[in-house]
Structure 1
Amino acid sequence: MKFYKKEGTNKFIYFFIAIFIIVLILQINRVIDKGGFFSLEQNFSFDKKPAKNTTFTFDNPQKMLVFYNKKSSQSKDILKNLEEAFIFNKIDYTLADIGDTVSTTGYDTFIFATDSFIGLQKSSFEGVKQATSNGKNLIFLNTSEYNPFNSISGIQKTGKVIEKSSEIHFTHKLFPGLDQHSPSSEMVVHPIFEVALDADCKILAWSKENTPLLWEKKYGKGRILYTNASFFADKITRGLMNQWISYGNDWYITPFLNAKLMHIDDFPAPIPRTVNKVIQEEYQMSTRDFYKQVWWKDMLEIAKHRNLIYSGFIIIDYNNAVRKEDMKEVSQITLEDLDIEGRELFLHGGEIGIHGYNHNPLVFDGDIDFAALSYHPWRSKEDMAAGMNQLLMYVKKMFGKKIKLYVYVPPSNILKEEGKEALVKNYPDLNVIASVFYGDSDRGAYASEIGRDKTIPKLFNFPRFSSGFYYDKDEMWSLFNAIAIYGYWTHFVHPDDVISDDRGMNKTWKELKQEFDKLIGEVEADHPYLEAIRASELTQRYINIEDLKIQSEKRDNKIYVGMENYREPFYMTMRIRNNSIKNISSGTFKEIYDTEDSKIYLLHVENPDLIITLGEENE
């Protein structure tokens, strides 16, 4: 007697076994330490390459003489901005108090960073006046009714003071993007004088009240640039000041980091498992599904279309555990979210940095208004350390031992010195704090300058200049103002901007996505050469030029540029008045802006000796 197995029964058994194996694999995947099996790697080198020095010698290098008034707070604020700009740009300058007796010989440009001329020596006045008439440049960075140079600067008479003037409207090109925008009255308010000017003054910018703000006046063989405002005491106009000084020189050479960075704060982070009304109405799906199926895919599409690389900053859990004993084990489903998001970030070439074990800023009781900000104070540095160790443990568990974390973004951009000390002590690889460039430190904001930290030299500060998915004219001014001096742009967003009442501006994701693309597209149109890089790559670029020194001198139709502490190729910009670059001795160059009476070039410098030949290419 023969027995036959039913074919359907066999198929059912095979199907059941296959399902069992899949479920088993998924379950193993949930409980194993993925860091050991699917290890990732994040490792950057920040070693300085050996330095090379120029072989050139200079008899009359370009140099500037800056006058300020040590008794004037306004003058000190202007000087702060000026020196930050000159230090980054490697400008050779001499500083003199308004009352000092100084020689005016050997300088190409004279700059007055003051609102008060009380004490100015007659010899200095006559020396600057004569040198300008003989072909040098004279720049005033603040208005004053009692400026003794007013008559030769084109001012026929001054009228009443407009105490709260606002806006800056350009009628002449100065720098890409910057001259197409104006800071609003919420951003910049300053006093100006009503003025009557000589007919031959070239006015580059006007106020909202249609009063001249920035103008140029020929004087003998030289030129005078005049500022009828006091806004150069503000950080928000530092880039404008840099380009104004650039415009006032026969040539102006500055390092240019040539980069664009996009930060996503709170990513990776736990995804809310709630139903959001806005998302539900627009997409008919849960918040978690929206972020996985819509938001992240759209962000990747924008990155591809606009050539962006994302740097994300991880939050382990949105708890309020600010004491070691309250730190509980993070749920498995939260770790799955973090793991998936982190691997997605790496898969698309990004970098992971630190935002926090939780979202409570590293500050103690009394440092900020905790009630107003809905935060909790840390009890001690030991509790901070416990939270940091939790973050390192989970990162290792999810991604492996080869992930080094170099960049920290403070929650809500709030940080104090004690927190900074704890960071350095507990994150061994940390070397960058990326907070904000503009901000109110009195309210706890960690608003920093660019470069090496003054209190903890192991750290660098590379702040962000703009934020948000929505398009805002003041944000555009902020970012172009930064590019105009540092040559890089860092913007940051949060995934929950989409569902935030204030940061979302009551707009749908579709609307925000369009505005975000518009924002990026506008920067791209004005600065198409900016290179997309990760957060730590910006550190590498800065370290390469940190101790660079630049000298330059014009000889016939050539400008000789010599560098000390040249290490690796880097970018620089060069503005030339009433001329053009014909060729350079090494590296590459391209024109990036034409203002009619000056051209701005982007150079890739490949040697500590550089000879720039001037003249039209068709000559």
Structure 2
Amino acid sequence: MATTKGAEEMQGRTSRHGHRSGQPAVPASVFPQEVLLVCHSADVHGLAVMENICTGLDFTKIRFSILDLRRRTAWPALDAYKSVIICTEMIWELPADKAARLEDYVYAGGGLLIAYRCWNEHLSEMFGAGRNGFEPDMHLTSGLRFDKDLFPGSSGLEIDDSDWLFEHSRFDIEAGELSPGSTILASDLDGRPILWVRLLGKGRLVYWNTGVLFCRALRGFIVQSILDAMQIGVGAIAGFAMFHVDDFPTSLSSARLEPVASEFPELDWDGFFFGVWHDDMMALRAKHNLNYTWYTIMNYHDVDTAPGADPSAPQADGRDILEARFGHIRQTAAGDEYGFHGYNHEPMTVGSWPDLTTLRSKLQQARKLWESTVPAPMPTSWVPANNWYHAEHVRVLRDVFPELSSVCGLFSSGEAELGEYREFGPEPWENSLLCLPRETYGYVLKPELRMMMLSQIACMGVWTHFVHPDDVYDIPSSDNGTGYHRNPQTLMWRAAGKDGRPSLFAQLDDWIAQVRSAYPWLEFVTTSEAESRYRNHVENQVEVVSSDGTVEIRSNVGGLFYVRTRREASLHADEGGNVVDRRKVEDGLLHIVRCSAGRVVFRIEDAERRAAKPAGTEDDG
């Protein structure tokens, strides 16, 4: 958690691009990995950026301290930190002596991340804006395009206003105006620099020329920027993925609807879902070594949620239909599990369930249906219908289904007052439930979904995804041509379109294949297993100590870690760990390492060290 250093400002003169005179330099290896966040408590927008960063640092087990410029004039000794992160535009207040200390720190090997665009007359040149005695003009632009790999898979990502609206309040600096040695990693849609890096002496600057890093969907890009700024950056990750299928087994119907009717004219709704669709999804599971969690509605037909609803009404007895739905499933897989999606598909909100007594009665009926009919243990996870719920309703649910231990809503989208936009961690309205929110959805990897997935993996080493079987049927028509559709291009299930566009299933297959290729260490698990792994990760206590030649990771649980090195300095196991993956990123390498509990040591080898190795020495990476 965040702490504020109590050290008084060190005395002594400063020398440009060197250590303070009168004080010995403190070797960085003496200190555990820690970063310093610099904020100003009067800068509300900057605090929102810092809050997003702190959440990412907490998850990755990167120790941090906070320096509030409004409350303190004394600075701690910067040598103790692997990187300094500026989270306020009010850095313009920084006087010349403190600016010089910050510059000395960077040139001596420290990292500096500007997470909220800022300017200071004494630091303008170091920031990459040249010698500038006046603050540059501000411009409002939009869009985000990654020109290089900040994180594996990010190069080429382009987000326009129709995907996700990023409004950059940015300094009006063109690419050609940046100081020599600046490498642009990301731009706006007009090609103006948003993210650049600079090597400065032994240190590194990472500068985000924007104020949008409060956005949860960009958290992973911030975490990777933090690792990039450090000489050697280490972050703990959880290493799991969840693949959810909502609304299965589906409702029963003999309807023949487009576009399935054109592709499979012999199949009705039931024939398609319990035949072609399910067969293909099971083949996908086997091909990519997936595990599914299937979320089931108990009774689609009983939608009476009014006060005094008659529990004995004929439509309330959904047992026969539920048995028939499960009876249509032709194949099952060991290792999958079923979760609860609701009694019916009415979201558990005041608007849909105004009477909590009725809700309790119907949930008790759902429990009886599950116990008597569902061929699976009682559910331990819940996906809310529509991803919506209210506080009193979730408490009733937990009372009727005490086995439930996790709720899976939405992560970086939606409305918090409807139970969406949830962080991983305890459910705010019912702490006995753990939130394991989903981030991406559907069959087609659209730009915004690619961004959301990359960010989640880049921060947490986690990917959470869900699909609906009936997405294929949700197409525009003459009656509903406007608005949101899950299959807006009317794509076929298996067949390519007349214009050559791949089918929904082909695009999902390709999406999973990309993930498997880029992140082979991600393990697809059921929700109950994901809950166990998340809790295990949260309980892990981590300390990292690094030097030019080694990285030492101490943890009480072990697990997976990102280790980012500069200039293609590679990492190799030395004591009690192994390197499971290694990828090139801009001006460095990102390693994924697995550590056992206790002390693990990796050695770092740059080109010079590798050349000096004795002939025949095996590479253990």
Pairwise CA distance, 1:467: 0.6
| Shift in alpha-carbon separation, 1:556–1:478, aligned structure 2, 3 A | closer
Alpha-carbon offset, residue 98 of structure 1: 2.2
TM-score (norm 2): 0.83
What TM-score do you get using the length of structure 1 for normalisation?
A: 0.83
In the alignment, the residues of structure 2 paired with residue 333 and residue 265 of structure 1 have an alpha-carbon distance, to the nearest angstrom, of 21
1:455: how far off?
A: 4.5
CA distance in 2, matches of 1:181, 1:357: 40
Shift of residue 420 of structure 1? 2.3
Q: Is the 8 A contact 2:521 2:580 kept in 1?
A: no
Structure 1 residue 205 displacement after superposition: 2.1
| Equivalent residue number for residue 456 of structure 1 | 430
Preserved CA contact (<8 Å) 1:431 1:460: yes
Structure 1 residue aligned with 2:8: none
After alignment, is 227-236 or 378-387 more displaced?
378-387
Partner of 1:28: none
Match of 1:92 in 2: 63
Matches for 1:72-221 after TM superposition, within 5 Å? 72-99=43-70, 100-101=72-73, 102-105=75-78, 106-117=80-91, 119-120=93-94, 124-146=98-120, 148-156=122-130, 160-170=137-147, 172-186=148-162, 187=164, 188-195=166-173, 196-221=177-202
Contact 2:295 2:340 in 1 (8 A): yes
Q: Which moved more, 1:464-473 or 1:174-183?
A: 174-183
1:290 partner amino acid? F
- Match of 1:572, SS state, is strand
Report how far residue 453 of structure 1 moved.
3.1
Distance 1:64 1:339, change over 3 A: same
Whether 1:574 and 2:563 are equivalent positions in the alignment is yes
Which protein has the bigger helix share? 1
> Does 2:467 correspond to 1:493?
yes
Contact 1:81/1:234 (CA < 8 Å) preserved in 2?
Answer: yes
CA distance in 2, matches of 1:151, 1:426: 63
Q: How does 1:58-73 map to 2 (within 5 A)?
A: 59-73=30-44
The equivalent residue for 2:512 is: 520
> Residue type of the partner of 1:356?
G
CA distance in 2, matches of 1:146, 1:342: 65
Please tell me the residue identity of whatever aligns with 1:320: V
Q: Structure 1 pair 342/413, CA: closer, same or farther in 2 (3 Å)?
A: farther
Give 1:424's match in structure 2, choosing from 373, 398, 401: 398
Provide the rounded CA distance (Å) in 1 between the counterparts of 2:463 and 2:220: 12
User: Are 1:380 and 2:369 matched, yes or no?
Assistant: no
Say whether residues 1:359 and 2:342 are aligned partners: no
Supply the distance in 2 between the matched residues of 1:280 and 1:614 (Cα, whole angstroms).
59
Task: Give the superposition deviation at 1:303.
Answer: 1.5
Q: Report the CA distance between 1:591 and its aligned residue.
A: 3.4
Identify the residue that residue 313 of structure 1 maps to in structure 2.
295
Map 1:435-446 to 2 at 5 A: 435-441=409-415, 444=418, 446=420
Aligned residue-pair number: 545
- Alignment partner, residue 268 of structure 1: 249
What amino acid is the match of 1:581?
A: L
Matched AA of 2:365: Q
Using a 3 Å threshold, how does the CA distance of structure 1 residues 103 and 268 change in structure 2: closer, same or farther? Answer: same
Q: Cα distance 1:349–1:554, how it changes in 2: closer, same or farther (>3 A)?
A: closer
Q: What's the CA shift string for 1:238-292, capped at 9, x where partnerless?
A: 1111111111111122222222221111112322332324332321221111112
The answer to whether 1:293 aligns with 2:266 is no
Larger deviation, residues 94-103 vs 553-562: 553-562
Offset at residue 206 of structure 1 (A): 2.3
Alpha-carbon distance in structure 2 between the residues aligned to 1:350 and 1:308:
9
Q: Which amino acid aligns with 1:559?
A: V
Supply the AA of the counterpart residue of 2:167: V
Q: Which residue does the alignment assign to 1:562?
A: 554
- Mark the runs of 5 or more structure 1 residues left unpaired by the alignment: 1-57, 366-376
**One-letter identity of the residue aligned with 2:260:** I
Identity fraction in percent = 22
CA shift for structure 1 position 586: 0.8
Q: Which has the higher contact order (CA 8 A, sep 6+)?
A: 1
| One-letter amino acid of the counterpart of residue 285, structure 2 | A
SS in 2 for 1:457: strand
CA contact (8 A) 1:581 1:612 kept: yes
CA deviation after TM superposition for structure 1 residue 362, in Å: 0.9
CA apart distance, 1:116: 2.6
Structure 2: gaps spanning 5 or more residues = 1-28, 476-484, 495-502, 614-621
From 313, 318, 324, the counterpart of 1:337: 324
The yes-or-no answer on 1:408 pairing with 2:382 is yes
What corresponds to 1:482 in structure 2? 456
Q: Secondary structure at the match of 2:561?
A: strand
Kindly provide the amino acid, as one letter, of the partner of residue 178 in structure 1. Answer: S
- Alpha-carbon RMSD across the aligned residues, in angstroms, is 2.3
Are the aligned partners of 2:319 and 2:373 in contact in 1 as well (CA < 8 Å)?
A: no
Secondary structure in 1 aligned to 2:159?
Answer: coil
- Which has more radius of gyration? 1
Query: Are residues 197 and 610 of structure 1, via their aligned partners in 2, closer, same or farther at CA, if it must alter by over 3 Å?
Result: same
**Partner SS, residue 135 of structure 1:** coil
SS in 2 for 1:604: strand
